[in-house]
Amino acid sequence: MGRSRLLHRRHLIPLVLLACAACGGEEDLLQAESLKAVYEGAGGAGKYGMAAGAPGRITGRVRFQGKKWEPRLLDLTTQDGFCIQAHGDSGLYSEDFLVGPEDGLANVIVYVKQGVSGGRWDPPAEPLVLDQVGCQYVPHVAVVQIGQPLLVKSSDNITHNVHGAAGANPEFNHAMAGVGELPTKLFKKPEVAKRIYCDVHGWMISWLGILPHPFHAVTAADGTFTIENVPPGTYELAFWHERRELGEKSVDVTVEPGATAEVEFTFER
């Protein structure tokens, strides 16, 4: 389960935190059959929707409460020994559960799930870069906007295999024989989140959120996040973590014109 609480900041219009949101009713961005359905859906009806006024922001922290999973020392044994040499005596530990200062939970995708239908946002022209460095994907979790190029590259002078699991967007599978990059990829449908892995090195996993709008963030090592330039309105704000035990939870949040909406959310085990 997850829980959240409202923070009030002096001199800012406070966030109205309504309640944990349940799926159903209004158009869900991630259930839309096409971008047309997303952008022309009934997002402005009911309790979710954008309003007129100066944009604001959503900021806050995601924490973890409960028994923690311990990082696992990964077995990097390969015939060429490259991966072991890349990390020396320190080795390489699992990244699927990282808790930082003040129990901040890293690598959580935070995104507006409902409420932005009726708008269209140009994707960034600059590609999102996913690199392979020392036999691990960097970054471990990222978000790309629909229409924004994804550039997959390798800084390792060994063979990797980049395999994107089948989901809302098609599966892809490419071998990389050494240092280099693949042709950029574009995605057409929302997906949270696509699993990208290496068939040669089984521990290499990355997660890619694919969204039709720019209102998203990935939590930092201390669990903090900021989503800028959010139009005024009431939204379903979702929190996604790769561990199935945590999964995805959401809350309702209202952004007032020109104000900062602050949210603290806690994943519980």
pLDDT of residue 80: 83
Question: How many CB atoms lie under 10 A from the CB of residue 198?
Answer: 21
* pLDDT tens-place string over residues 22-42: 333 334 444 443 333 343 333
pLDDT of residue 39: 37
Q: What is the pTM of this model?
A: 0.84
Outline which parts of the chain fall under CATH 2.60.40.420: 122-211
Q: Are 91 and 73 in contact (CB under 8 A)?
A: yes
Question: What parts of the chain have a pLDDT lower than 70?
Answer: 1-45, 118
| Residue-level length of the chain | 269
pLDDT of residue 120: 80
**In this structure, what DSSP letter does residue 140 have?**
S
Instruction: Please give the class, per CATH, of domain 1-120+215-269.
Output: mainly beta
pLDDT of residue 243: 97
* pLDDT tens-place string over residues 210-240: 999 999 999 999 999 999 999 999 999 999 9
Query: Where in the chain does DSSP place strands (E)?
Result: 2-6, 16-20, 49-50, 56-65, 109-114, 128-132, 137-138, 141-145, 150-154, 160-164, 172-176, 180-181, 191-198, 205-211, 216-218, 224-230, 233-240, 248-255, 260-268
Outline which parts of the chain fall under CATH 2.60.40.1120: 1-120+215-269
Edge-to-edge strand ranges of the sheet holding 205-211: 141-145, 205-211, 191-198, 160-164, 172-176
**In this structure, what DSSP letter does residue 49 have?**
E
For 22, counting Cβ atoms within 10 Å of its Cβ (0-12 exposed, 13-18 middle, 19+ buried), the class is exposed
Domain 122-211 in CATH 3.40.190.10: no
pLDDT of residue 38: 40
